[in-house]
């Protein structure tokens, strides 16, 4: 096994369940969370004044580690199954433009830029908080969620567009009904948009409320409609999320059944199933559970002594 492949198994491949890989992933998860925690505390002026040097050194060490991690991922990305068919330079180019690689780059760029250019610290901290998105490397649920978003993008976009139409209509109606009574709150459609947004999304801060009878009647209907429209995208995502998991597990089960056709799974077949499970963002525990269940199903109706 080459050094590059070893590095790939260490930081990228879920199948290599070695202790070194587990400890490295755990260390990086703790480092990411610690960085975000440091950004939160550093935003307090009194804490920043007392521990400013510590925060700077911690940021320097963290960025150095993230930089080494990013370069290692770019170097060994050519070992990814989906990139092996490409030339080395093309494989790396295709990897660095992936969303997950861009997130890794964003984790280190703000600090490096601040060393050479004057940057507003508020925006610098904002980009540092985005390091939380690096956790998508270590939790498969994020990848499944992104897949669900991509597949339901058109439906969600349609629901959001419909909500925007209703917000504009609601703001226009309330402007017509309330502008004379409350010129400061509903003096224009632009002013009315704030009320329409917080009412349609069922937040209802109560800082702006209609006073006329017509305005209250319209507001009642808007609140009722808002309950349904806000819940619609959430219901679509929840349903599609469960469907996506079922489809992936069913796909894995089909391949397991094919591997069990001769009654057992040899090491090469198991490795293929592991690669498929990794591609489907399913854990090894899911794979083992499905294999165990399908083996029991195959034994139903057979003699427990001879297996016939």
Q: Which two tokens stand for residue 181?
A: 């009574």
Residues 69 and 192 placed together within one structural domain of the fold: no
Residues 300 and 172 placed together within one structural domain of the fold: yes
Looking at 138, 156, 175, the residue that finishes a domain is 138
- Per-residue pLDDT, averaged over 180-198, amounts to 87
pLDDT at position 304 over 60: no
Residues 57 and 75 placed together within one structural domain of the fold: yes
According to the model, what pLDDT value does residue 298 have? 65
CA 42 to chain centre: 26
Residues 115 and 29 placed together within one structural domain of the fold: yes
Residues 122 and 165 placed together within one structural domain of the fold: no
Q: Report residue 146's pLDDT band, with 50, 70 and 90 as the boundaries.
A: confident
Q: At 151, which CATH number?
A: 1.10.287.70
Q: Decide which of 305 and 194 is more confident.
A: 194
Lowest mean per-residue pLDDT among 73-87, 122-136, 292-306: 292-306
Residues 86 and 24 placed together within one structural domain of the fold: yes
According to the model, what pLDDT value does residue 169 have? 92
Q: At 117, which CATH number?
A: 1.20.120.350
Question: What's the total number of domains in the chain?
Answer: 2
pLDDT at position 16 over 60: no
In whole angstroms, what is the distance from residue 9 CA to residue 25 CA? 12
Instruction: Provide Rg for the chain, Cα atoms.
Output: 27
**Long-range own/partner contacts, residues 237-245 (CB < 8 A, 24 or more apart):** 237/148, 237/149, 237/152, 237/156, 240/148, 240/151, 240/152, 241/144, 241/145, 241/148, 244/144, 244/147, 244/148, 244/151, 245/144
Query: The domain containing residue 209 runs over which residues?
Result: 140-308
pLDDT at position 302 over 70: no
pLDDT at position 303 over 60: no
Q: Decide which of 303 and 176 is more confident.
A: 176
pLDDT tens-digit readout, 97-122: 988 888 888 888 877 777 777 766 66
pLDDT tens-digit readout, 239-273: 888 888 888 888 888 888 888 777 777 778 777 88
C-alpha dist (Å) from residue 123 to 21, 46, 48, 53, 119: 34, 19, 16, 20, 7
The answer, as to whether pTM is greater than 0.85, is no
In whole angstroms, what is the distance from residue 9 CA to residue 21 CA? 8
Helices and strands: H and E segment counts in the chain: 13, 0
Q: Report residue 172's pLDDT band, with 50, 70 and 90 as the boundaries.
A: very high
In whole angstroms, what is the distance from residue 8 CA to residue 2 CA? 10
Average pLDDT, rounded, for the chain: 81
Residues 54 and 105 placed together within one structural domain of the fold: yes
Residues 73 and 149 placed together within one structural domain of the fold: no
Question: Which of 206, 224, 234 lies closest to 170 in space, CA to CA?
Answer: 224
pLDDT at position 35 over 80: yes
Residues 126 and 185 placed together within one structural domain of the fold: no
| Alpha helices (H) along 208-283 | 213-259, 267-279
According to the model, what pLDDT value does residue 269 have? 79
């Amino acid at each position: 096994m080459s050094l590059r492949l070893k590095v790939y198994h260490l930081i990228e491949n879920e199948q290599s369940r070695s202790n070194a890989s587990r400890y490295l992933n755990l260390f990086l998860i703790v480092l990411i969370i610690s960085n975000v925690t440091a950004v939160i505390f550093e935003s307090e002026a009194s804490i920043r004044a007392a521990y400013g040097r510590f925060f700077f050194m911690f940021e320097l060490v963290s960025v150095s580690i993230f930089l080494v991690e990013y370069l290692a991922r770019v170097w060994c990305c050519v070992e990814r199954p989906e990139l092996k068919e490409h030339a080395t330079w093309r494989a790396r180019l295709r990897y660095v433009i992936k969303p997950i690689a861009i997130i890794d780059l964003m984790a280190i760029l703000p600090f490096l830029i601040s060393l050479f250019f004057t940057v507003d610290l508020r925006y610098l901290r904002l980009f540092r908080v985005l390091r939380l998105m690096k956790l998508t490397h270590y939790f498969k649920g994020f990848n499944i969620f992104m897949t669900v978003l991509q597949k339901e993008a058109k439906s969600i976009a349609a629901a959001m567009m419909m909500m925007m139409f209703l917000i504009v209509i609601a703001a226009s109606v309330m402007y017509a009904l309330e502008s004379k009574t409350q010129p400061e709150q509903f003096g224009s459609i632009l002013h009315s948009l704030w009320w329409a947004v917080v009412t349609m999304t069922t937040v209802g801060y109560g800082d702006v409320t209609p006073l006329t009878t017509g305005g209250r009647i319209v507001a009642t209907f808007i609140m009722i409609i808002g309950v349904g429209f806000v819940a619609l995208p959430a219901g679509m995502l929840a349903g599609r999320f469960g469907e996506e998991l079922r489809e992936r597990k069913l796909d894995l089960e089909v391949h397991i059944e094919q591997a069990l056709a001769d009654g057992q799974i040899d090491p090469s077949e198991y490795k293929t199933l592991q690669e498929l499970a990794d591609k489907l963002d399913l854990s090894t525990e899911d794979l083992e559970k499905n294999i165990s269940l399908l083996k029991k199903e195959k034994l139903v109706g057979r003699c427990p002594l001879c297996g016939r």
